[in-house]
Amino acid sequence: MRCRGFVVGLSAALLAVSSVMIFAGPAGAVGSTCDVSMNPAASGNASGLNVACIFNNGDSGTSTTMTDYPDAVWHYGAARNVNVTVARTTVGGVPSTAGKTTIKSRPTNNLATASCANSPAGQTGIPAGNLAIGAADINHSIENAASSATKTGVFINPGTFIKAVVASGSGCTQVITVTLSKATLAGGPLCPASPGPATGNCANSVGAQVLVSNDTGRAVTDGVTTAGSATVTSASANFKAGDVGAGVSGGDLPDGAQIGTVNSVTSVTLICTGCVGGFTGVSSASAQVITLSPNPAHSPTSARYVTDVTAPGTNKVITSATAGFATSDVGLPVSIQTNTGVAIALPGARIASVSGNTATLSAAANVPSSAKRAVIGLATKTAPATGDVQGTLAILLQVNPTVSPTSPPCAANKISGFQIPLQWKNPGGYNTQVAAGTNQFSGTNPAPTSIAQLDFNTASTSFSGYVEQHYTVTAGVPGPSNYTVEFRFLPVAVGLCPGTGDAATFNFSGLTVKSSSNPSFTSGGGGGARGIKAEPQGTNHNYTANVTTNGATQPSVTSTCNVSSPAAIQIGC
């Protein structure tokens, strides 16, 4: 009953949860402590992060940073929308988009408004900022943003990637034929209404938006391995020189295997640096599911929210010290905002080139000097959905009845506890609200650059943390990534009884409803919310995480986690 009264009482005043963020411990405690762990701690798998802290009064200050384990990988990657058409023909007696191994990309449109109506015949204009699929997109994922209610693909077969692009002509009449790795499915776009009928057959459907990712991660189902050999073949993988260094997994290939040499479009030779036993355990097998993931030494950039943008106002350039611009950003859409998160109209803007801390945009107008924030890229289909519950915050505290009149008097020394969900929000869907009068703090002091917002939001109050991807860019290519979760503004202990503290446990899940409900083989970016990198076969390593605050005294942290290959059956670490 105390818990229920607590929550109800907080609806009328500053939610005492605000004070929770102090993570204070009981007066007289020996020292502030945090215990960090992950579960499951299985190499190359999805994994949750758990951070449990008890802080002495005043130790945590007003912000907390959780530095994740070095082998952790949060969702990465970005995408852009491309407008495409597909032929509709009779399949099983019914006009359908199923069974097509090619689609057509509509031409690039650098204007701020739709253009090239009737290209092809019967079409409305190509959307502003459309960047046609080109040779640079070969082996990149292409997905339809929607799936069916039965968790199956619609129009674009889940796990499809681009195998070839052939373009002829120019301007509005340009024809760009895109060969896909998998045949299309039913449920795609209809025919133009004129000459119609919309549900009939046609050489080119109306335009439909598809997601093209900025990485070459992909999976095939026709992998062939040979006993004791490092060679893998696949008739469909479309191996290219750029695949050297990519991670390869499947069957009984050793954990940590990477492509060392591309022999042909159908054959590669693998290496496994640091692996025990090399490829001696590989057996002869066919029809293997073989997955290629980006080179761990060169992570792709991600869709992200950047708040330290500067723009001269006289050209199409934005600068950021923290955005980490890289060549994998080229082609990604960009939306611009003021310092308070108000959108600035710049239709069709996308990144045309990068150099150091600067990105030059392809846009129909200059970037105004009022530009202070930017959303770069779209979430890939494998990303958690905005609004997905990605974790929880569990709290124990002694609530001051001056804040919550239904709470026991402080002299009673009674503790209240509850658990609140944390919602994942993708860049472009952040909660930027700041309204101190209503105790809404989610938009207060956002991270300079973040790939996700973790929003704790109730009717009474809100605050947010940010997932940040850190890497160094060399010659336009990002190096290895590491990640932090940062709560940059944590309201002060208005709701605690004097001299008391509280304890809090954050749980960040490896998967969300959206990422676990995607159809099999869905690709583009790193699947799930958080996972662990693959360890070299036959090895194990100890990793540590950390928790810091801006308080005067830092907590002692217990966080050592042993990750092995093959993975051990254990309950986290």
Cβ 140 vs Cβ 161: under 8 Å: yes
Cβ 115 vs Cβ 184: under 8 Å: no
Task: Pick 8 or 232 by higher pLDDT.
Answer: 232
Kindly report, residue by residue over 311-332, the tens digit of the pLDDT: 998 899 999 999 999 999 999 9
Which pLDDT value is given to residue 493? 52
DSSP conformational letter for 348: T
Q: Does residue 66 form part of some domain?
A: yes
Cβ 447 vs Cβ 468: under 8 Å: yes
Residues 553 and 448 in one domain: yes
Measure the CA–CA gap between 303 and 76, rounded to whole angstroms.
8
Residues 475 and 526 in one domain: yes
Q: Is the pLDDT of residue 283 over 80?
A: yes
- Domain boundary (353, 376, 399) is at 376
- Domain boundary (376, 399, 427) is at 376
Q: Is the pLDDT of residue 303 over 90?
A: yes
Which pLDDT value is given to residue 5? 32
Domain extent at residue 368: 304-376
Residues 348 and 473 in one domain: no
Residues 429 and 518 in one domain: yes
Which pLDDT value is given to residue 379? 97
Q: Does residue 572 form part of some domain?
A: no
Q: Does residue 569 form part of some domain?
A: no
Residues 239 and 388 in one domain: no
Residues 133 and 207 in one domain: yes
Give the containing element (helix H, strand E) for 5: helix 2-10
DSSP output for 466-504: EEEEE--EETTEE---EEEEEE------SSBPTT--EEE
pLDDT band at 401 (very low <50, low <70, confident <90, very high): confident
Kindly report, residue by residue over 476-535, the tens digit of the pLDDT: 999 999 999 999 987 655 567 877 777 889 999 999 999 889 999 999 998 789 999 999
Which pLDDT value is given to residue 495? 65
Residues 400 and 323 in one domain: no
Question: 448: how many CB neighbours lie within 10 A of its CB?
Answer: 16
Residues 65 and 86 in one domain: no
Measure the CA–CA gap between 445 and 491, rounded to whole angstroms.
12
Question: What integer is the mean pLDDT of 455-475?
Answer: 90
Question: What integer is the mean pLDDT of 387-393?
Answer: 95
φ, ψ of residue 136 in degrees (nearest 5): -65, -15
Task: Pick 487 or 399 by higher pLDDT.
Answer: 487
Kindly report, residue by residue over 236-273, the tens digit of the pLDDT: 999 999 999 999 999 999 999 999 999 999 999 999 99
Residues 470 and 525 in one domain: yes
The DSSP bridge pattern shows strands 48-56 and 24-25 to be: parallel
Q: Which of 413, 469, 535, 572 is nearest to 51 (CA)?
A: 572
Q: Is the pLDDT of residue 341 over 60?
A: yes
Which pLDDT value is given to residue 406? 80
Question: 137: how many CB neighbours lie within 10 A of its CB?
Answer: 23
Of 7-11, 72-76, 108-112, 169-173, where does mean pLDDT reach its minimum?
7-11
- Number of structural domains the chain divides into: 4
Which pLDDT value is given to residue 10? 31
Which pLDDT value is given to residue 567? 86
C-alpha torsion angle, residues 446, 450, 455, 461 (rounded to 10): 0
Cβ 328 vs Cβ 469: under 8 Å: no
φ, ψ of residue 20 in degrees (nearest 5): -55, -35
Q: Is the pLDDT of residue 3 over 60?
A: no
Q: How far apart are the first and last CA of the chain?
A: 35
Residues 456 and 510 in one domain: yes
Which pLDDT value is given to residue 340? 86
Q: Is the pLDDT of residue 216 over 80?
A: yes
Which pLDDT value is given to residue 246? 96
Kindly report, residue by residue over 402-432, the tens digit of the pLDDT: 767 888 899 998 988 888 899 999 999 999 9
Cβ 466 vs Cβ 57: under 8 Å: no
Which pLDDT value is given to residue 14? 34
Predicted structure pTM score: 0.92
Percent of the chain residues topping a pLDDT of 90: 72
Residues 111 and 252 in one domain: no
Percent of the chain residues topping a pLDDT of 70: 93
Question: What integer is the mean pLDDT of 357-382?
Answer: 95
CA dihedral sign of residues 179, 180, 185, 188:
negative
pLDDT band at 157 (very low <50, low <70, confident <90, very high): very high
Which pLDDT value is given to residue 58? 60
Q: Is the pLDDT of residue 27 over 90?
A: no
Which pLDDT value is given to residue 1? 31
